[in-house]
Copies of this chain bind each other. A is one copy, B any other.
């Protein structure tokens, strides 16, 4: 970007910048965009001042981090579009983008909300949409997905399943795949038998633990 025109950072400064980016990426992924810059600084082993010198505010740090993550989703969508089977293409895209969202809470927050603040991310999302539309349309035209399934429903489903994933994240990080499985079965226009569930359900203790954890998190 513009870094080529400016004189390079001092060696230690550049190293710190990198550590901040890495740490911020990890913390955002785990806990969402709500993480404070102070906390990022602490985890990166630098002072807050250092963070603020490198990234004038939180928005710019976020922008710097997530541009390529969106590109990854775009690539996934494009890859799906090239798969031969229209249903496999749709299913692959949904599953893969859910995986990305589950692995990175901040990414999910950026994908499902709109802000004037993050212009570049906004633009990234706008590149993704038409490809998704294409994947969905192809499946619909091929008659492999229910006709009344709308693009907006996909958005809601992503949100819903993503939220379920977050709910059980500490206890059974893969159990959201069951919900996805049920949902995908619901998207088929007709079918003889349910798809096999990819993972076992929660046992009683896991349910308890999930609910307790969520209660704890809610009250901050």
Q: How far is the CA of A109 from the CA of B194 in the complex (A)?
A: 31
B156 contacts A178, CB within 8 Å?
yes
Q: How many copies does the complex hold?
A: 2
Closest to A197 in B: B148
Segment among A21-29, A88-96, A110-118 that sits at the interface with chain B:
A110-118
Q: Is the interface of A mostly helix, strand, loop or mixed?
A: helix
Give A123-144 as 1s and 0s: 1 = Cβ < 8 Å from B's Cβ atoms: 0000000000000000000000
Interface size on A, residues (CB 8 A): 56
From B202, B206, B212, give the contact of A113 (CB < 8 A): B212
Residues from 191 to 219 in A contacting B, C-beta threshold 8 Å: 191-194, 196-197, 201-203, 206-208, 210-212, 214-215, 218
Q: Give A contacts to B, CB under 8 Å.
A: 33-34, 109, 112-115, 146, 148-153, 155-157, 159-161, 163-164, 167-168, 175-176, 178-179, 181-194, 196-197, 201-203, 206-208, 210-212, 214-215, 218
